Amino acid sequence: VADPAELRVALFGTGFMGRTHSIAYAILPSFFPELPLVRRQVVVDVTEDLARRGAHQFGFAEWTTSWQEAIARSDIDIIDIVTPNDSHEPLANAALAAGKHVLCEKPLALTAAQARAMADQAKQSKGVAMVVFNYRRAPAVVEAKRLIESGAIGRVLTFRGLYLQDWAMPDGTPWSWRFSAERAGSGSLGDIGSHVLDIASFLVGDVVAVAAAAETFVPKRSLPGAAGHAAVDVDDCTIALLRFQGGAIGTLEASRFSHGRKNHLSFEISGTKGALSFNWERSNELNFYSAADSSNVQGFRTIVMGPANPGGDALWPIPGIGTGYIESQVFQVGEFVRAIVHGQEEGSSFAHGFKIQTVMEAIAAAAQNGAWTPVSTDETK
Amino acid sequence: VADPAELRVALFGTGFMGRTHSIAYAILPSFFPELPLVRRQVVVDVTEDLARRGAHQFGFAEWTTSWQEAIARSDIDIIDIVTPNDSHEPLANAALAAGKHVLCEKPLALTAAQARAMADQAKQSKGVAMVVFNYRRAPAVVEAKRLIESGAIGRVLTFRGLYLQDWAMPDGTPWSWRFSAERAGSGSLGDIGSHVLDIASFLVGDVVAVAAAAETFVPKRSLPGAAGHAAVDVDDCTIALLRFQGGAIGTLEASRFSHGRKNHLSFEISGTKGALSFNWERSNELNFYSAADSSNVQGFRTIVMGPANPGGDALWPIPGIGTGYIESQVFQVGEFVRAIVHGQEEGSSFAHGFKIQTVMEAIAAAAQNGAWTPVSTDETK
Amino acid sequence: VADPAELRVALFGTGFMGRTHSIAYAILPSFFPELPLVRRQVVVDVTEDLARRGAHQFGFAEWTTSWQEAIARSDIDIIDIVTPNDSHEPLANAALAAGKHVLCEKPLALTAAQARAMADQAKQSKGVAMVVFNYRRAPAVVEAKRLIESGAIGRVLTFRGLYLQDWAMPDGTPWSWRFSAERAGSGSLGDIGSHVLDIASFLVGDVVAVAAAAETFVPKRSLPGAAGHAAVDVDDCTIALLRFQGGAIGTLEASRFSHGRKNHLSFEISGTKGALSFNWERSNELNFYSAADSSNVQGFRTIVMGPANPGGDALWPIPGIGTGYIESQVFQVGEFVRAIVHGQEEGSSFAHGFKIQTVMEAIAAAAQNGAWTPVSTDETK
Amino acid sequence: VADPAELRVALFGTGFMGRTHSIAYAILPSFFPELPLVRRQVVVDVTEDLARRGAHQFGFAEWTTSWQEAIARSDIDIIDIVTPNDSHEPLANAALAAGKHVLCEKPLALTAAQARAMADQAKQSKGVAMVVFNYRRAPAVVEAKRLIESGAIGRVLTFRGLYLQDWAMPDGTPWSWRFSAERAGSGSLGDIGSHVLDIASFLVGDVVAVAAAAETFVPKRSLPGAAGHAAVDVDDCTIALLRFQGGAIGTLEASRFSHGRKNHLSFEISGTKGALSFNWERSNELNFYSAADSSNVQGFRTIVMGPANPGGDALWPIPGIGTGYIESQVFQVGEFVRAIVHGQEEGSSFAHGFKIQTVMEAIAAAAQNGAWTPVSTDETK
The predicted pLDDT at position D227 comes to: 86
Half-sphere exposure of B202 (CA within 13 A, CB side): 26
**Mutant choice from D6, D17, D23, D30 vs B, greatest count of B C-beta within 10 A:** D30
Reported as a pLDDT band with limits 50, 70 and 90, residue D346 is low
B58 contacts D319? CB cut-off 8 A: no
C19 contacts A30? CB cut-off 8 A: yes
Beta bridge partners of residue A129, listed in sequence order? A102
Q: Which residue type is seen at C209?
A: A
Which residue on chain A is closest to B291 by alpha carbon?
A259
The predicted pLDDT at position B2 comes to: 46
Each residue's pLDDT tens digit, A38-85: 999 999 999 999 999 999 999 999 999 999 999 999 999 999 999 999
The predicted pLDDT at position A346 comes to: 65
Closest CA–CA distance from residue C137 to any residue of chain A (Å): 14
The B37-44 sheet, strands edge to edge: B62-64, B37-44, B6-12, B78-81, B101-105, B129-132
Which residues in A lie closer than 8 A to residue C304 (C-beta atoms)? 262-263, 281
Residue C295 main-chain phi, psi, to 5 deg: -60, -30
CB B86 within 8 A of CB B184: yes
Each residue's pLDDT tens digit, D153-183: 999 999 999 999 999 987 678 999 999 999 9
Contacts C–D by Cβ distance under 8 A: 120
C309 contacts B293? CB cut-off 8 A: no
Question: Reduced to 3 states, what is the DSSP secondary structure of residue C252?
Answer: strand
Give the integer Cα–Cα distance in Å for B189 and B364. 8
The predicted pLDDT at position C170 comes to: 72
Question: Reduced to 3 states, what is the DSSP secondary structure of residue C110?
Answer: coil
The predicted pLDDT at position C173 comes to: 86
Give the integer Cα–Cα distance in Å for A70 and C154. 58
- Which DSSP state fits B87? G
Each residue's pLDDT tens digit, A346-367: 689 999 999 999 999 999 999 9
Residue D376 main-chain phi, psi, to 5 deg: -60, 140
The predicted pLDDT at position D3 comes to: 55
Beta bridge partners of residue A64, listed in sequence order? A44
C380 in contact with A, Cβ within 8 Å: no
C246 in contact with A, Cβ within 8 Å: no
Give the integer Cα–Cα distance in Å for B329 and B60. 18
Give the integer Cα–Cα distance in Å for B318 and B310. 13
Residues contacting residue C267 through CB under 8 Å, at least 6 positions apart: C159, C160, C161, C162, C196, C199, C200, C203, C276, C277, C278
D299 in contact with A, Cβ within 8 Å: yes
B172 pLDDT above the threshold of 80: no
Q: Which residue type is seen at C129?
A: A
The predicted pLDDT at position C325 comes to: 95
Beta bridge partners of residue D300, listed in sequence order? A302
Reported as a pLDDT band with limits 50, 70 and 90, residue D2 is very low
C327 contacts A324? CB cut-off 8 A: yes
Give the integer Cα–Cα distance in Å for D189 and D182. 14
The predicted pLDDT at position B100 comes to: 97
Residue among D66, D51, D90 nearest D183 (CA)? D90
Give the integer Cα–Cα distance in Å for C22 and C332. 12
Residue D343 burial class via C-beta count within 10 angstroms: exposed 0-12, middle 13-18, buried 19 and up: exposed
Mean pLDDT, range D345-359, rounded to an integer: 91
D284 contacts B281? CB cut-off 8 A: yes
Q: Could you read off the pLDDT tens digit of each residue along chain A, which spans 381 residues?
A: 445 689 999 999 999 999 999 999 999 999 999 999 999 999 999 999 999 999 999 999 999 999 999 999 999 999 999 999 999 999 999 999 999 999 999 999 999 999 999 999 999 999 999 999 999 999 999 999 999 999 999 999 999 999 999 999 876 789 999 999 999 999 999 999 999 999 999 999 999 999 999 999 999 999 988 889 999 999 999 999 999 999 999 999 999 999 999 999 999 999 999 999 999 999 999 999 999 999 999 999 999 999 999 999 999 999 999 888 999 999 999 999 999 998 776 689 999 999 999 999 999 999 999 999 999 987 766
A211 contacts B258? CB cut-off 8 A: no
Beta-sheet pairing, D101-105 with D78-81 = parallel
Reported as type and span, the H/E element at residue C16 is helix C16-31
Give the integer Cα–Cα distance in Å for A268 and D195. 38
**Mutant choice from C281, C297, C302, C329 vs A, greatest count of A C-beta within 10 A:** C281
Give the integer Cα–Cα distance in Å for D284 and B330. 20
Residues contacting residue A353 through CB under 8 Å, at least 6 positions apart: A104, A106, A107, A108, A109, A115, A118, A119, A131
Mean pLDDT in chain B? 95
For the CA atoms of B42, B46, B50, B53, the dihedral, rounded to the nearest 10 degrees, stands at 10
Residue among C281, C207, C275 nearest C245 (CA)? C207
CB C119 within 8 A of CB C88: no
The predicted pLDDT at position B379 comes to: 73
Beta bridge partners of residue B275, listed in sequence order? B270, B289
CA distances from A216 to A179, A220, A232 (A): 10, 9, 8
D57 in contact with B, Cβ within 8 Å: yes
Higher pLDDT, B377 or B97: B97
Mean pLDDT per 10-residue interval, chain C, length 381 residues? 78 97 98 97 98 98 98 98 97 97 97 96 95 96 98 98 93 88 96 98 98 96 90 97 97 98 98 98 97 97 97 94 94 96 82 97 97 88 65
Q: Select the residue of A19, A263, A282 nearest C319 (Cβ to Cβ).
A: A263
The predicted pLDDT at position A381 comes to: 65
- As a whole-number percent, the residues of chain D with pLDDT over 70 amount to 97
Which residues in A lie closer than 8 A to residue C57 (C-beta atoms)? 29-30, 33
The predicted pLDDT at position B169 comes to: 86
Which residues in C lie closer than 8 A to residue B296 (C-beta atoms)? 143, 146, 303, 308-309
The predicted pLDDT at position A1 comes to: 43
Each residue's pLDDT tens digit, B59-71: 999 999 999 999 9
A295 contacts D303? CB cut-off 8 A: no
